[in-house]
Amino acid sequence: MNALGRHILVEFYDCSPELMNDVVHIENSMVAAAETAGATVINSTFHHFSPYGVSGVVVIQESHLAIHTWPEYGYAAVDLFTCGDSVDPWVSYKYLKEAFEAGHGSSMECRRGQLDLLKRNDFNIENMRDVSPKPPEVAGAITRDVWFTERDENIALSLKHSGRQLYKKDSPYQRVEIYETLAYGNMLTLDGMVMCTQKDEYVYHEMITHVPMFSHTKAKRALVIGGGDGGTVRELLRHEQLEEVTLVEIDELVIEACKLHLPETAVAFDNPRLNLLVEDGIKYINECEDGRYDLIIVDSADPVGPGEGLFTAEFYSQVYRCLTPDGVMITQSESPRFNSAVFVEIYDTYKQIFGEEKVHCYLAAIPTYPTGTWSFSYSSKGNSHPLQYDREAAAGFARSQGLKYYNENIHTAAFALPNFVKELLNSKSTNVTDEYSAEPTN
């Protein structure tokens, strides 16, 4: 070969959209394509972008293979670059065309570094050698960096995972997936959005349950709408005063996935005090008898997909009807900074149904949720107030149960709201602004 390298620019068309959005399949295929061609793989780094799209590169001793996909078009743009004669990039091309189920492909080969245009320079390699000590390399070892990314228009969260997808199924409602992340353990995602992880799920589940249970000590019957991961009912069932806990989850695959791969979260599904129903929570509430429950927790996903109907005035009015005269409704109420408009709108709705003085907002720090700050609402049908509770009982409970986040001080502090949250709660949903002025006022 009269050049330093061969560079094939590839376009694959009519690929499987599912495969073009599967970062694990793409990373495995790219690594295998390199190895099949006889390349020595050093490193792979791949990112999945929510809701769709994958970018990645496989670094080989002989150069690299790179890709970006557009699942919505069934299209992949691929670079295959090899140095020397030992690796044939066309072998990789044929492998990937089949792996991606491409209808057809187009390609163009360039010879990089034409030798008749180059002049070899003599230099002292000793002056360029890195003499710093390095750990011994393991023969055949590949460094693999595979990333899941939940991406919104203006913000993103990326988590590195093992490259093994533990669970992936499509239900009639959503795609249910579990990844093995390096920093946060196993992670449940629904339609590409992070729901919970092993390392921080306790924050959400302890705060959505123990705050109302210590403020409403007479609660005997509790209902959870959503919460198929099992964490909310796990925490509720720590309270012996509860005689009945009903969980209504629309998607049985969420329950299945968490039983298999988040067993610490799903540990309470076999508790005899739990009444588990796989059905539509909206339908259940609409058919529920008046005054049935002391506590109703709406443990919903974001207001999209199957969770969209759980953010309406009609639904909250039905929840109000199903509460006892002293009953309490708890909801996850989004991030006040990330979803400001939704945050304000739903609090306006709560106040219209429960009354201005009966609705309270509290916050918790959840690292894997957008902005890291998440809100919960406490809405009382009667006179229950979230800051009127037995601090000693809460402290003893937190110690005896080995809770990781909730305690009596956190309970109180969660209701100490930042000024920007207070301003949002005092605004109207039609007049929400994200503008911020750093100018001091005197």
Residue 404 to residue 317: CA distance in whole angstroms: 34
- How would you classify the pairing of strands 63-70 and 54-60? antiparallel
- CA of residue 375 relative to chain centroid, distance: 16
Supply the DSSP symbol for 226. E
CA atoms within 13 A on the CB side of 247: 28
**What is the full DSSP assignment across 400-434?**
HHT-SS--HHHHHHTT---HHHHHHHHS-TTS---
Give yes or no for a contact between 376 and 362, defined as CB atoms under 8 angstroms apart.
yes
- What are the tokens at 131? 């003499």
- On the 0-12 / 13-18 / 19+ scale of CB atoms within 10 A, 435 is exposed
Does the active-site annotation cover 348?
no
22, 200, 299, 302: the active-site residue: 299
Q: Where are the beta strands (DSSP E) in 171-240?
A: 175-181, 185-190, 193-197, 221-226
Which among 364, 410, 368, 7 is positioned nearest to 214, based on CA atoms? 410
Report the DSSP beta bridge partners of residue 364: 374
- Of the candidates 84, 21, 30, 95, the residue with the CA atom closest to the CA atom of residue 56: 30
> How deeply is 34 buried, as exposed, middle or buried, from its count of CB atoms within 10 A (0-12, 13-18, 19+)?
buried
**Strand pairing class (293-299; 323-332):** parallel
The residue whose two tokens read 């070892």 is 141
Nearest alpha-carbon partner for 17 in 97, 98, 72: 72
Residue whose entry in the numeric block shows the structure tokens 């196993």: 186
Q: Report how far residue 161's alpha carbon sits from residue 73's, in angstroms, rounded to the nearest whole number.
A: 26
Q: Dihedral of the CA atoms 209, 212, 218, 222 (nearest 10)?
A: -40
- Per the CB < 8 A criterion, the answer to whether 174 and 305 are in contact is yes
Give the span between the Cα atoms of 317 and 314, in whole angstroms: 5
CB 378 within 8 Å of CB 328: yes
Catalytic residue IDs: 299
